[in-house]
């Protein structure tokens, strides 16, 4: 049994270069546990790695990734809810001070929702998951015309805002936000340019990250 070649090469580089520089950090994290202040909810798209985008060290951010960076509304049914469990751990145990929902351009999940919405032959999992985008899609309406090239971009951004709303349906999150102990932020990453925009709830728009702050 062996790792794919690219992973073997990467692990070798980690052992030879990064681990020696980070050894004391890993030892400290192993001994005392993690205490990240920030949770990032991102897409599992291979082009959008929060650790790379924010140049973080081990232990600095708690990352949850899924298709299209979605969060279902609070619904404690007793079934398995991986996203909700991660949120509960981050908020109740780690007591993070920020939750960042980071969407991105060229999102395959958003495109799949648009192209396959209401298809008769649904998949076992993906269609139900992507139905979480429906409220955002209904909110922005249909494409303006057949040449509406920015429709997917508008939906990507609207879905981020809708997910921020879903986060507020969780009692623990809502309570901490209202108490000033937790901040929710929406971020939109441009895969092609590397630029990052943050959601400004005062204007209802996304502005370059340099113009806004996490603080």
Give the per-residue pLDDT at 146.
60
Confidence of residue 211 (pLDDT cuts 50, 70, 90): low
Beta strands in 26-75 (DSSP E): 38-43, 61-66
Count Cβ atoms within 10 A of the Cβ of residue 72 and give its class: 0-12 exposed, 13-18 middle, 19 or more buried: middle
pTM: 0.93
Task: Return the percentage of the chain with pLDDT > 90, whole number.
Answer: 84
Indicate where the chain has its CATH 3.40.1050.10 domain(s).
Answer: 34-211
pLDDT at 198 over 70: yes
Picking from 41, 88, 49, the residue whose alpha carbon sits closest to that of residue 69 is 41
Q: How confident is the model at residue 56 (pLDDT cuts 50, 70, 90)?
A: very high
User: Distance (Å, rounded) from C-alpha 11 to C-alpha 24?
Assistant: 18
Quick: pLDDT tens for 105-160. 999 999 999 988 878 888 889 899 999 999 999 999 888 766 567 999 999 999 99
Give the CA distances from residue 15 to residues 49, 59, 61, 105, 123, in Å, rounded to whole numbers and listed in that order.
Answer: 21, 18, 21, 33, 41
Give the whole-angstrom CA distance, residue 85 versus residue 104.
24
Q: How confident is the model at residue 212 (pLDDT cuts 50, 70, 90)?
A: low
* 213: pLDDT strictly greater than 80: no
Q: Where are the alpha helices (DSSP H) in 54-207?
A: 82-88, 108-116, 126-130, 134-140, 151-167, 171-178
Q: Of 108, 90, 106, which Cα lies nearest the Cα of 173?
A: 90
Domain 34-211: give its CATH code: 3.40.1050.10
pLDDT digits (tens, 9 = 90+) for 93-109: 999 999 999 999 999 99
Mean pLDDT of all residues in 155-178: 98
């Amino acid at each position: 049994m062996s790792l794919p070649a690219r992973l073997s090469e990467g692990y070798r580089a980690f052992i030879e270069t990064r681990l020696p520089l980070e050894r004391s950090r890993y030892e400290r994290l192993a001994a005392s546990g993690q205490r990240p202040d920030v949770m990032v909810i991102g897409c599992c798209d291979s082009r959008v790695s929060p650790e790379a985008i924010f140049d973080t060290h081990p232990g600095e951010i708690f990352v949850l990734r899924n298709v299209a960076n979605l969060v279902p509304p609070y619904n404690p049914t007793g079934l398995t809810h991986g996203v909700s469990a991660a949120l509960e751990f981050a908020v109740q145990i780690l007591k993070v001070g920020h939750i960042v929902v980071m969407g991105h351009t060229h999102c395959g999940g958003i495109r799949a929702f648009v192209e396959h919405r209401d298809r008769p032959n649904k998949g076992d999992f993906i269609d139900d998951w992507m139905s979480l985008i429906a409220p955002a899609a209904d909110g922005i309406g249909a494409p303006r015309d057949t040449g509406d090239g920015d429709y997917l971009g508008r939906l990507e951004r609207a879905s981020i805002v809708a997910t921020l709303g879903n986060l507020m349906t969780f009692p623990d999150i809502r309570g901490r936000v209202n108490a000033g102990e937790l901040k929710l932020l929406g971020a939109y990453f441009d895969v092609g340019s590397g630029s990052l925009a943050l959601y400004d709830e005062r204007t209802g728009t996304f502005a370059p990250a340099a113009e806004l702050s996490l603080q």
